[in-house]
Structure 1
Amino acid sequence: MKMKLSLIFPIVATLLVGASFPGRVDSKANTSAHGGKTEIATLAGGCFWCTESDLEKLPGVIDVVSGYSGGVLENPTYEQVSSGKTQYLEAIQVTFAPEQVTYEQVLDQFFRHIDPTDDKGSFVDRGSQYRSAVFYHNQMQQQVASKFMMEIEDLGVFKKPLKTELRPFKTFWKAEDYHQDYYKRNPIRYNYYRYVSGRDSYLDEIFGDNRKENPVTLRQMIDAKKVLTHGKTYTKPSDEELKSKLTELQYYVTQEDGTEPAFNNAYWDNKAEGIYVDIVSGEPLFSSTDKYRSGTGWPSFAKPINDAFVVKETDYRLIYPRTEVRSRFADSHLGHVFKDGPAPTGLRYCMNSAAMKFIAKKDLKAEGYEEYLYLFED
């Protein structure tokens, strides 16, 4: 069993001077000093230093408190909880303004900053006290959380089954003072712990390493996958199916991260109106309305149709790092994005024709992409 503090660095005695013992926290919704109604969400996602930091960044969140939930022992201490013998989980209580942010949006922020597929711990912290859970306070929270978690499961973005527990809230005990706002009080130590924990590298792998600059919510991904008018979903076939479906070049580009020849591919000079979709899954990727002639010999676009369908990752296959572009659900290698494109984005999405299928404007309805006809309206 690993304990965060002893794993990375000892708690110095000075931190304990003036620290208070935990106290039970009232979880009822009330009226805040801000003058509006507030609600409470209780969540466990591993290290509460990290979950506190991540949830406080969500607009509409008023306060986040680190503590312990899920056990029965009165006034548990950090040492008791970290032993793994108390049934408590490291947790946070999130006070938020429902007029500004919904309970689902709080859950969305939470799930995009944890590993919900691990029921044996969380990243470097191992043990039942670090597993993830949603403690619902009322029937509404239970219903919202249950539905949202099923949608996340169906989305498949985490690539493994969810193991996050959905449990009724009973008690929450505030952790010792030195745990509160730890990321603010001890930024160097916190950043070092967070880096070595592997949390951010995992999240970059799942959501793309541009997730902070260009965040895409789970709700956006869920809605994008449904495709508003047809309820269409996007999945990746088995490797056997892919080999039978794709040409040798298409398989090489999408599955082996290959690159097709410049000026000798299907769409580099295509001027027809329409959209480009993933050759593997059919995910809508780019529109002819954003296509331009870059002179590189590959189809180039200023932006995707919807950021929810693309993931950006750092590619180190060459001497210098590049930003790779992959499809969200099929995980197909599409190409790379560069910062030498036209206004207003200044970006050049340099794609492989072999990774895409072109659907002409006149065929959008027949092919199930009628909702993208708006792209070609004046």
Structure 2
Amino acid sequence: MRFPSFPTIIRTFSLYNLTRIHNLPAAYRAIPAPFTRNTTVFRSMPTIPFLGSLFGSQQKDMTDYPVKKSDDEWQAVLSKEQFRVIREKGTEAPYTGEYDKHMPSEGTYTCAACQAPLYRATHKFKSGCGWPAYFDSIPGAVIRHTDSTLGMERTEITCSKCGGHLGHVFKGEGFPTPTDERHCVNSVSLNFSKEDKEA
């Protein structure tokens, strides 16, 4: 029996007890409970800082964003948790965010740091991943970057106005949406307005 690679095992352990496992190869079923009980492998799951350092780190974002502030200036306008997620590329715990189950019929989700419009309420869908999920963004509102943390390659998304970390985007997961994409976004990176705002 071929056993999974070390980075794959670490990634699986980091997803413990978040959702349910499905369609895993036989090698994973050999991992004893409680590591496999009530777990699903989502590529969006947060990284563990000290483990992430073993397998690489996110490349520094060299994009020239219109809104520029120093760390001190951001800390003055963001909460401690917002700063950790938006400016330090952290991840909020799944199923805890304000907008995870928030399903309005109209309105706009904006960047919590600079108030730039990012997503329409009509872009949001129920994915069950534990974070707000959107199948598309307002055109030009987000920028995609390669994130190579924890031994796997993901696509990070940031606000195009201030560079604030939003989350990650995944494609080809089979959700019945127009784009077959899932923008997995931290609630703490967002605000919501009942108005339809333009980018």
Of 165, 186, 189 in structure 2, the residue corresponding to residue 352 of structure 1 is 186
- Note if contact 1:309-1:329 (Cα within 8 Å) is conserved in structure 2: yes
**In structure 1, distance between residues paired with 2:75 and 2:112:** 13
Q: Could you say which residue in structure 2 is the equivalent of 1:327?
A: 159
How many residue pairs were aligned? 138
Q: Which amino acid aligns with 2:149?
A: R
| Structure 2 residue corresponding to 1:284, chosen from 101, 117, 123 | 117
Q: CA deviation at 1:237?
A: 3.1
Question: Contact 1:250 / 1:355 at 8 angstroms: preserved in 2?
Answer: yes
Match of 1:314 in 2: 146
Which residue identity lines up with residue 274 of structure 1 in the other structure? G
CA distance in 2, matches of 1:348, 1:332: 18
Amino acid of the residue matched to residue 156 of structure 2? Answer: E
Structure 2 length-normalised TM: 0.63
Per-residue Cα deviation, 1:201-258 (whole angstroms, up to 9, x for no partner): 99x9549xxxxxxxxxxxxxxxxx9xxxxxxxx6233322211211111100011100
Identity of aligned residues (%): 36
Distance 2:68 2:188 in 1: 16
- Aligned-residue Cα RMSD (Å) equals 2.4
How far apart, in 1, do the equivalents of 2:72 and 2:138 lie?
30
Equivalent residues in 2 for 1:67-82, closer than 5 Å: none
Over residues 15-43 of structure 1, what are the superposed CA-to-partner deviations in whole Å (9 max), with x where a residue is unaligned? xxxxxxxxxxxxxxxxxxxxxxxxxxxxx
Match of 2:67 in 1: 235
For residue 149 of structure 2, give the secondary structure of its aligned residue in structure 1: coil
Equivalent of 1:263 in 95, 101, 106: 95
Aligned to 2:27: none
| Deviation string, structure 1 residues 254-295 (Cα, Å, up to 9, x no partner) | 111000011101100001231111111111111110100100
Could you tell me how far apart the structure 1 residues matched to 2:70 and 2:107 are? Answer: 28
Unaligned 5+ segments in structure 2 are 1-58
Q: Mark the CA change 1:285 to 1:318 in structure 2 (over 3 Å): closer, same or farther.
A: same
CA–CA separation in structure 2 for the residues paired with 1:281 and 1:253: 14
The letter for the 2-side match of 1:336 is H
CA distance, structure 2, for counterparts of residue 295 and residue 315 of structure 1: 23
Conserved? CA contact 1:236–1:280, under 8 Å = no
Equivalent runs, 1:5-16 vs 2, <5 Å: none
Question: Between Structure 1 and Structure 2, whose CA radius of gyration is higher?
Answer: 1
C-alpha distance in 1, partners of 2:141/2:188? 18
Question: Quick one: distance in 1 between partners of 2:113 and 2:95?
Answer: 23
Q: Does 1:275 align with 2:108?
A: yes
Higher helix share: 1
The question of whether the paired residues in 2 share the 8 Å contact of 1:334 and 1:352 is answered with yes
Give the corresponding residue for 2:134.
301
Question: What's the secondary structure of 1:337's corresponding residue?
Answer: strand
3-state SS of the aligned residue for 2:113? coil
Amino acid in the other structure paired with 1:359: S
In the alignment, the residues of structure 2 paired with residue 266 and residue 236 of structure 1 have an alpha-carbon distance, to the nearest angstrom, of: 27
Q: Determine the C-alpha separation between the residues in 2 that align with 1:305 and 1:321.
A: 24
Q: Where has structure 1 moved over 3 Å in runs of 4 or more?
A: 204-207
For 1:278, give the aligned amino acid.
Answer: C
Mark the runs of 5 or more structure 1 residues left unpaired by the alignment.
1-200, 208-224, 226-233, 373-378
Post-superposition offset of 1:321: 0.6
TM-score norm. by structure 1 comes to 0.34
Q: Structure 2: which amino acid aligns with 1:292? A: F
CA–CA distance in 2 between the matches of 1:243 and 1:205? 21
State the alpha-carbon separation in 1 of the partners of residues 62 and 80 from structure 2: 27
**How far has the Cα of 1:344 moved from its partner?**
1.7
Q: Distance in 2 between matches of 1:247 and 1:300?
A: 23
> Which AA in structure 1 matches 2:73?
E
